[in-house]
Structure 1
């Protein structure tokens, strides 16, 4: 998400061309639509007690909250950048730090969701015990602690070097705030650690589920669905990695090709690798769960879509 904020700021500094308002509309409109979709999903999760008790729905709800805040903050920063609204350093710091924390938590949450599917398939008899309500929330708290480590270190360095709360003379972004090399080193280190860790967890769970699926005692259908879910998490992780590279690509193409082409390429990268993954991931994940999607469709259409009584199956 901080990469989203940084990309938004870098892009919009160069986006003030004749198509600027149109491009801004094309970014803000789908973001607002998916904010509504995410809001309905969160509302749906709150309407059934089982959705608040089962680990997979708790983690899904956590992903929804993180991605919703992610999109909302990004839209706000994008509008500020397009409108040329300059922001105080401390306010910008809070937004950038929150964005980085949300980005890390979103990535780490994928590992929790993959581990939950791993336990469900590989240890079905102990699934309810291992992934109970308390342990799931404890795992979420650990994810937030890990996600905030880099942010706290950057805050300490920032206030020990430049505590003045002055107005930025450029758009709010990590580049405008963190100009020292130490910030780049910290960002690269934490990003690499988190992506390697989450990649290992997802690949391990995918391989483990695939191995168990070959045994006669395994529920083939459940294992197949679980492997598809973990594969979806791997794709989400890949899109997250691509969003990190957007800033690098923008700088490279802005130097090497003409201005108009650079703006168009940066806009496409911004939409494809930053906007769409955050908007579509929760929707795709929610649609794959028939029980949840049935209720979601009912609330999304304000009760116009008639739904038969839902029986929640408390197994994998």
Structure 2
């Protein structure tokens, strides 16, 4: 019986070699499964490239990811840019005296970035001048240094799943006309008349055009204070207009005498409240300067 229970050394080595072969087969099978999964992911991305699928990695993009310079416009041969939603909202049309814009971008989730440029001519299909931004952020433009006249905004999209920029010839194109800021205001300013120790009021009709202007003023009659019915005209200069304020210098004759700063009180920028003073801007406020609103 002991001989029957005994296994020769050669038989045991055969068993060990067989087990080793089985384990090797299992390891190789695991490697094959892993490679198969990787290929499956690639197929999904390729399907998206043909416009028939969704990139499963989108939404988990490295926050530091930034596509290549769109001015070189790298394209994938044989891959068409997909038809997806992509537009820009709030772009002006016709004449506009606003020079600063924040324009929301509305795009399909597969659009990760955009590139835009503003030019005084239609150059959307020309390389150069494009600036890259993330699609989740609006386009922010400051046009203060752009010349008056026609302006063109060109915008292209970056499709993340296929890693390609939209063709320049297919760019979104918008155009409008930049015009000089020009307004006329009925206003008044006040100061303390030391002679009668009371607030004196002066009416001032302002005419503003670009960085210059003028104002026609006349002091109102106040009991106990000096009165002068004469109308005078003086200049305004160094005017800067933004979406929220207008500021600059006022003159006495040809001489710069002081400063003013107004804050707009309506979206049309036809009404304001503000202050003024002598000398350097903001050093000392002498009184209010507001529009006369009916």
Establish whether TM, by shorter chain, passes 0.5: no
Bigger Cα Rg: 2
TM range, smaller chain: under 0.3
Return the TM-score normalized by structure 2.
Answer: 0.22
Greater RCO between the two (CA within 8 Å, min separation 6)? 1
Query: Per residue, is there more helix in 1 or in 2?
Result: 1
Query: Per residue, is there more strand in 1 or in 2?
Result: 2
